[in-house]
Amino acid sequence: MITNFKLKHRIFNFGLAVAVICFCSQTYAQSYLGNSMDNYAGVHAVVYNPANVFDSPFRTDINLISASGYFGSDYLGLSLSDMLSADGEFNFDEDAERSPSNSNHFFTNIDVLGPSFMFNVGEKQSFAVTTRLRGLFNADNVNGNLYEKVSEGFEIGENFDFDSQDLNVTAHVFSEIGLTYGREVVKTQDQFLKAGITLKYLMGAGGIFMNSPELSGTFNGLTNNLTTQGAISYGSTPGFESDSPEFSDLQSGFGADIGVVYEYRKRIVDGTVLGKRAQQYKFKAALAITDIGSINYQNSQQTVYDANGDVNALEFETKDLEQVLEDNYTGTRTIGNQKLQLPTALQLMADYYIGNRWYVGLHQGLSLRKSGSADANGIINTTTVSPRWESKYFSVYSPLGLRQYSGFAWGLGFRLGPLTVGSGSILTNLISDNSKNTDIYVGLKIPLYKKIDY
């Protein structure tokens, strides 16, 4: 646990580097919450389920640039209204609400969807080519009580015990080029089934990783001495050994998404103020497994420390992490291959057509990586219900979700022709005094529609 807190400046620099890359690219946790259920989401829907590439309402859909950011923790809660009204004087140390526990979690997902397009080949198959840049950060099973002691200082005269299990910190930056193929599988008068697969070529910029299966300790307030038991493993890929990561040594890997979509097509003709239209389905269900794969980084550096020993707590105020570890513990350093796992997830969706262009959708994103798994990123489990009004040129939706570690989230978004803007949590962020997650997305594309309006 000690490592996580003395590592905070390096983690911050890493996260800042990821953000700079994304916004310099002209700015996907979970990406595009709410919008992904829209039948006119196009390429954005392919990212969640490759089967969506087939039988869309587009002749082709060209994404120019889109970006999504998802940030949160169950440790730190903020009031967005207080921050906006503070005129730059908001103090995180004093004004943010903290909820320390023996197992806190921190997470970041920044996803930029670059130039991408989808197109049809014949009547029963479609293709898509996608490009993405992604930055992922997970800190799982962090002892928040110890974090406060280390970051604010141990109190003289106050004893303190801690116990940490399955600590994992993984930060990873990579890009990918995906080729998606989707086609019709079954089609009858009322039943329709399609399937798809995306094969990805991954280009890893690198990352840092730390884990500790078990670490416990006691602080003696009279002697100012911290006694610890356990082990800590810490390392980085080439180019990430310093506080200023370099992105010059890209290493390759492979990944995949697979998915199916079923539709019950009881065809409906709606009469509305906008005229009559043919609705494609009454009910839709979808299943996909996304981000299967990993990147293997050669010549990565890793040090395993035997953390059985004593440390004077004052050392954490005057030395950086690596110096404290080297001065107090026995470490074994190795150079070799390091595999960083992608955030493999199960994506479940259902969509019901109410009538008059109104729908209600359900989306569940479930991580297939166990929390605390070493050298792996994972998504945050979410369940989202999203009512929406949808048409060819305009859609509006308001997702309501339950998110692992951070609770209820309520958002708002819209699609207006080529522009998509939204957030799965903006309304919660505005009204809550203790908001523990936030996300936002924006996208610009060129949609070329089919003549049929559904």
pLDDT digits (tens, 9 = 90+) for 358-367: 999 999 999 9
State the burial class of residue 9 (Cβ atoms within 10 Å of its Cβ: 0-12, 13-18, 19+).
exposed
Domain count, the chain: 1
Model pLDDT, residue 397: 94
| H helix intervals, 42-126 | 43-48, 80-84, 92-95
Per-residue pLDDT of 24-48, as tens digits, reads 333 334 555 556 789 999 999 999 9
How far from 322 is each of 5, 88, 224, 330, 450, CA to CA, in Å?
12, 34, 20, 12, 59
Task: Quote the pLDDT of residue 91.
Answer: 63
Q: What is the pLDDT of residue 453?
A: 58
Report pLDDT for 31. Answer: 53
Decide the pairing of beta strands 412-416 and 419-423.
antiparallel
Q: Quote the CA–CA distance of 143 and 333 in Å, as a whole number.
A: 26
| Higher-pLDDT residue of 64, 35 | 64
Tell me the mean pLDDT in the region 149-168: 82
Angle at 214 between CA 208 and CA 216, to 5 degrees: 110
Residue 2 confidence (pLDDT): 38
Three-state DSSP class for residue 134: strand
Query: Is 59:95 a contact under the CB 8 Å cutoff?
Result: no
Per-residue CA distances from 140 to 7, 15, 170, 278, 434 (Å): 14, 16, 9, 48, 21
Assess whether pLDDT exceeds 90 at residue 95. Answer: no
Q: How far apart are the C-alpha atoms of 319 and 330, rounded to whole Å?
A: 17
Residue 454 falls within a domain, yes or no? no
344: pLDDT strictly greater than 90? yes
pLDDT at 374: 87
pTM of the model: 0.86
Q: What is the pLDDT of residue 147?
A: 81
| pLDDT of 81 above 50 | yes
Better-predicted residue by pLDDT, 190 or 277: 190
Q: Which tokens is 314 given?
A: 């004052």
According to the model, what pLDDT value does residue 198 have?
A: 98
Using CB atoms within 10 A of its CB, is residue 422 exposed (0-12), middle (13-18) or buried (19+)? buried
Nearest of 201, 202, 191 to residue 260 by alpha carbon? 191
Kindly state whether residue 143 falls inside one of the protein's structural domains: yes
What average pLDDT does the segment 63-68 reach?
A: 95
Whether the Cβ atoms of residue 419 and residue 399 lie closer than 8 Å to each other: no
pLDDT at 134 over 90: yes
Domain containing 383 equals: 2-449
What kind and span of H or E run contains 130?
Answer: strand 125-142
pLDDT at 151: 74
Side-chain-side CA neighbours of residue 83 (13 Å): 15
User: What pLDDT, on the 0 to 100 scale, is given for residue 132?
Assistant: 96
pLDDT for the residue numbered 85: 62
Query: What average pLDDT does range 296-302 have in this prediction?
Result: 94
Please report, rounded to a whole number, the percentage of residues in the chain having pLDDT higher than 70: 84
CA separation for the pair 309, 387 (Å, rounded): 56
pLDDT given for residue 18 in this prediction: 37
Check residue 154 and report its DSSP letter. Answer: P
310 domain-assigned: yes
Q: Residue 8, SS3?
A: helix
Would 153 be classed as within a structural domain? Answer: yes
Measured between alpha carbons, how far is residue 191 from residues 49, 281, 282, 406 in Å?
A: 19, 9, 11, 39
More confident residue, 16 or 108: 108
What is the average pLDDT value for the chain, to the nearest integer? Answer: 85
Which residues face 333 on adjacent strands? 303
Q: For position 381, which CATH number holds?
A: 2.40.160
Confidence class for position 422, pLDDT limits 50, 70, 90: very high
pLDDT tier for residue 368 given thresholds of 50, 70 and 90:
very high
Q: 69 or 181: whose pLDDT is higher?
A: 181
Residue 360 contacts by C-beta under 8 Å, 6 or more apart in sequence?
351, 352, 354, 385, 386, 387, 388
Residue 146 domain flag? yes
Q: Are 72 and 56 in contact (CB under 8 A)?
A: no
The answer to whether residue 300 is domain-embedded is: yes
Residue 10 has pLDDT above 70, yes or no: no
| Residue reference for tokens 């609770």 | 407
